[in-house]
Amino acid sequence: MLDQAQRILKDVFGYDAFRGNQAAIIERVASGDDALVLMPTGGGKSLCFQVPGLLRDGLTVVVSPLIALMDDQVATLDELGVAAVALNSTLDAEAQRSIAERIRRGEIKFLYVAPERLVQPRMLDFLQRVQVGLFAIDEAHCVSQWGHDFRPEYLQLGQLAELFPQVPRIALTATADMRTREEIVQRLHLQNAERFLSSFDRPNIFYRIVPKDQPRKQLLAFLAQRKGDAGIVYCLSRKKVEEVAGFLSEQGFPALPYHAGLPSELRAYNQKRFLNEEGLIMVATIAFGMGIDKPNVRFVAHLDLPKSLEAYYQETGRAGRDGLPADAWMAYGLQDMIFLKQMLASSEGDERHKRVEQHKLDAMLALCEETRCRRQALLAYFDEDLPNPCGHCDNCVDGVQTWDATEPARQGLSAIYRSGQRYGVGHLVDVLLGRENDKIRASGHQHLAVFGMGKALSEGDWRTLFRQLVARGLADVDLDGYGGLRLSDSCRPLLRGEVSLELRRDLKPQQAIKASGSSASQLVRQDEREQWEALRTLRRKLAEEHSVPPYVIFPDATLLEMLRSKPASMSDMAQVSGVGARKLERYGEAFLEVLNGARSEAAVVDLRHELVSLARAGMTPLQIAAQLKCTEKNVYSLLAEAIGRQHLSLEQALDLPEDLLGEIQDAFLDGEGELPPVSAIAEAFVGRVDDGVLHCVRAALQAEFEV
């Protein structure tokens, strides 16, 4: 069985080896048993049902919640030469009848369908009369009422177990938590399903979180090193989305806005452009996300703080589905926290629910101020233990400096307390720094004991300190809308001197901007750029011809492998990961042409260099021709060219007797005006020198005149 699976993997998909649990899952499902698959985004879930679907007789029915997702997968299978269709509401009755007919004739291997349609009695009836080989339930967490993507229609999928007892079912999701998992098993009747749990680490994503200082400038610095890359910039509000999108466009970064307040046609249009074009930046609220299957999103940047680690993980997880290096970057500040806390306080819902949400926000804040490896902290939150620091996040790479902030923290808390627990950070800093302005005088705070006590720290240091006090829950934000700070219960031990406080030291703004760049991205080196762009251009052209997104033709990983392994023949091309039989046949030649075209140009450049060196070293044209394995005639014409460009002098190129040289020069200079062509004087020298020599002398004369 696995042999066969392996063959399909290579022939159809063009891949050499299964990843992670894929082989075990495929074996289980292909042999007719149920499976529950938990795998992170980009882990390769699709193959887990596509390969068994091809191994088993009959139709594979894939349940998927979104039309966009279905269309993408159908297009992908289609390009691989696998017969797949999506049944959705955009099809008219005639088209639907024709699909049904093709299914009856066994011409279709994969049927993608939305859950509400699948469970219609007519549909179930139809499926019972054709041979179904496998049910795949994608995005299975949609069955969970606790999750954010709950779809009531998913609840009805449970009946498949009774209606099709002989047909294996595989449920897949990228949502890991225990509660969701149990709900899937229970509601989809998957008690007999083997569970396949993968690590939820996304090793190709580089995490960086920076304190917000001048967010736009920081964002630009981050983007500057990612020109031409596609990415998502998340903002909290619609207004900010539009502002940032406008700002980026002005700065020369092609950016589009996306939020729920835009007309739906515009939203659809922008989303389509993001999928189909390369190097676009989507500036969006969290309304943008579900159903974004674009594999080559190279970065996700947050200009505002997500409200939980679940949200952060999911949003950053949209980067780098293709497994290539990607960045998750975020700038956050005290204002973010104040805003989120206020939102939470004013939200509907019972106290218990609010406490849960508060907890989630605290975990998010803790990640921001984390002094250990970010990945370890993130995975630990999801109950996964990463034994060693990852070496691929800002904290690992830059190192984190901490300082003993016990005393300043006490001063800060004291300033909050003594000023009446209702002032914002600006005022508190003024108190600590002893700034006697109108507001201070009006409140009489120049008489406080802490007034002017904090001059050892700068304004920036104090702001950082207050942010960290809030993030650690040592101070609370007043929720009246003005963002005043008050003490929390947990600060008492610190005030009483029972504990000390180590805080993370922020990078200086200059360093922070520099560091905001660094790291992962940049798939191709400078010297590979040109050829990379040529490959992408061809891919784009083919994608347009076939009306599919470029990544459906070939993913970036495949183009990158072509770029690096330089296949020279169709059989080399067949070895490239991601080039299956059908794609080889359809596109192999075209990509080879681009690769070899560009390569022979590069080869000619090398040849020229070598020729000049050999000539300078005193070799004759005949010797050079032997060395470079080309004709003497070619050598002469390359020599003439080098002389014309003054890379070589005539004396270096040729060893001519002086009087012969004089004679040739006279012949060229005999007439008036322009130099005559070689053919005009060649007759006079037949049998005495090679035509190539005349070309060289002429090139030298011409170079002389041009100076």
Residues that bind ligand ADP (CB under 6 A): 15, 18-19, 22, 39, 41-47, 295, 321-323, 555, 577
Quick one: 10 or 226, whose CB is closer to ligand ADP? 10
DSSP calls for 438-484: HHHHHHTGGGSTTTTTTTTS-HHHHHHHHHHHHHTTSEEE-TTTT--
Q: CA-to-CA distance for 91 and 68, rounded, in angstroms?
A: 14
Token pair 């008036």: residue: 672
Q: CA-to-CA distance for 654 and 690, rounded, in angstroms?
A: 11
Q: Tokens representing 514?
A: 């520099």
Footprint (CB under 5 A) of Zn ion, residues 360-389? 373, 375, 389
Q: CA-to-CA distance for 433 and 448, rounded, in angstroms?
A: 12
Q: How far is the CB of 517 from Zn ion (least distance, A)?
A: 18
Quick one: 200 or 253, whose CB is closer to ligand ADP? 200
Quick one: 577 or 620, whose CB is closer to ligand ADP? 577
Within 10 A of 405 (CB to CB), how many other CB atoms are there? 23
Q: How far is the CB of 461 from Zn ion (least distance, A)?
A: 26
Q: How far is the CB of 519 from Zn ion (least distance, A)?
A: 12
Q: Which of 276, 297, 274 is nearest to 549 (CA)?
A: 276
Quick one: 41 or 285, whose CB is closer to ligand ADP? 41
Q: Nearest residue to ligand ADP, using CB? A: 44
| Of 74, 167, 393, 615, the one binding Zn ion by CB under 5 A | 393
Q: Site map for Zn ion, 314-353, x if CB under 5 A? A: ----------------------------------------
Quick one: 43 or 52, whose CB is closer to ligand ADP? 43
Using CB distances below 5 to 8 A depending on partner kind, what does residue 41 bind out of ligand ADP, Zn ion, none? ligand ADP
* Sign of the CA dihedral with 190 first, then 196, 200, and 202 last: negative
Q: How far is the CB of 597 from ligand ADP (least distance, A)?
A: 27
Using CB distances below 5 to 8 A depending on partner kind, what does residue 396 bind out of Zn ion, ligand ADP, none? Zn ion
Using CB distances below 5 to 8 A depending on partner kind, what does residue 42 bind out of Zn ion, ligand ADP, none? ligand ADP
Quick one: 6 or 443, whose CB is closer to ligand ADP? 6
| Of 77, 233, 311, 390, the one binding Zn ion by CB under 5 A | 390
**Neighbour order of strands in the sheet with 194-197:** 84-87, 110-113, 59-63, 132-137, 169-173, 35-38, 194-197
Q: CA-to-CA distance for 104 and 84, rounded, in angstroms?
A: 14
Q: How far is the CB of 326 from Zn ion (least distance, A)?
A: 15
Q: How far is the CB of 295 from Zn ion (least distance, A)?
A: 24
Q: How far is the CB of 294 from ligand ADP (least distance, A)?
A: 10
Residues 6 or more apart whose CB falls under 8 angstroms from that of 451 comprise: 431, 432, 434, 440, 445
Evaluate whether 471 touches 361 at the Cβ level (below 8 Å).
no
Evaluate whether 573 touches 598 at the Cβ level (below 8 Å).
no
Q: Please name the amino acid found at residue 398.
A: D
Quick one: 64 or 419, whose CB is closer to ligand ADP? 64
Q: Site map for Zn ion, 644-663, x if CB under 5 A? A: --------------------
Quick one: 71 or 322, whose CB is closer to ligand ADP? 322
Q: Does 209 bind Zn ion (CB under 5 A)?
A: no
Q: CA-to-CA distance for 465 and 503, rounded, in angstroms?
A: 8
Q: CA-to-CA distance for 295 and 323, rounded, in angstroms?
A: 8
Q: How far is the CB of 621 from ligand ADP (least distance, A)?
A: 51
- Strands 299-302, 326-332: pairing kind: parallel
Q: Which of 431, 24, 13 is nearest to 194 (CA)?
A: 24
Using CB distances below 5 to 8 A depending on partner kind, what does residue 365 bind out of ligand ADP, Zn ion, none? none
Q: Does 396 bind Zn ion (CB under 5 A)?
A: yes
Quick one: 19 or 179, whose CB is closer to ligand ADP? 19
Q: How far is the CB of 628 from ligand ADP (least distance, A)?
A: 41
Query: In 550-620, which ranges are continuous DSSP H helix?
Result: 550-553, 556-565, 570-575, 581-616
170: three-class secondary structure by DSSP:
strand
**Helices H, strands E: what count in the chain?**
35, 17
Q: How far is the CB of 578 from ligand ADP (least distance, A)?
A: 7
Q: Give the 3-state secondary structure percentages of the chain, helix then strand then coil, rounded to 5.
A: 55, 10, 35
Using CB distances below 5 to 8 A depending on partner kind, what does residue 464 bind out of Zn ion, ligand ADP, none? none
Using CB distances below 5 to 8 A depending on partner kind, what does residue 393 bind out of ligand ADP, Zn ion, none? Zn ion
Quick one: 82 or 513, whose CB is closer to ligand ADP? 82
Quick one: 35 or 390, whose CB is closer to Zn ion? 390
E strand or H helix at 362: helix 351-368
Using CB distances below 5 to 8 A depending on partner kind, what does residue 295 bind out of Zn ion, ligand ADP, none? ligand ADP
Residues 6 or more apart whose CB falls under 8 angstroms from that of 336 comprise: 212, 304, 305
Using CB distances below 5 to 8 A depending on partner kind, what does residue 373 bind out of ligand ADP, Zn ion, none? Zn ion
- What angle, 0 to 180 degrees and rounded to 10, lies between the N-to-C axes of helices 406-418 and 459-471? 80
E strand or H helix at 413: helix 406-418
Using CB distances below 5 to 8 A depending on partner kind, what does residue 375 bind out of ligand ADP, Zn ion, none? Zn ion
Residue 3 half-sphere exposure toward CB, CA atoms < 13 A:
0
Residues 6 or more apart whose CB falls under 8 angstroms from that of 68 comprise: 271, 291, 293
Quick one: 315 or 370, whose CB is closer to ligand ADP? 315
Quick one: 91 or 400, whose CB is closer to Zn ion? 400
Q: How far is the CB of 393 from Zn ion (least distance, A)?
A: 3
Q: Which of 413, 388, 294, 348 is nearest to 41 (CA)?
A: 294
Q: How far is the CB of 450 from ligand ADP (least distance, A)?
A: 54
Q: Which residues pair with 475 in a beta bridge?
A: 487
Using CB distances below 5 to 8 A depending on partner kind, what does residue 18 bind out of ligand ADP, Zn ion, none? ligand ADP
Using CB distances below 5 to 8 A depending on partner kind, what does residue 46 bind out of ligand ADP, Zn ion, none? ligand ADP
Q: How far is the CB of 373 from Zn ion (least distance, A)?
A: 3
Q: Which residues bind Zn ion (CB under 5 A)?
A: 373, 375, 389-390, 393, 396
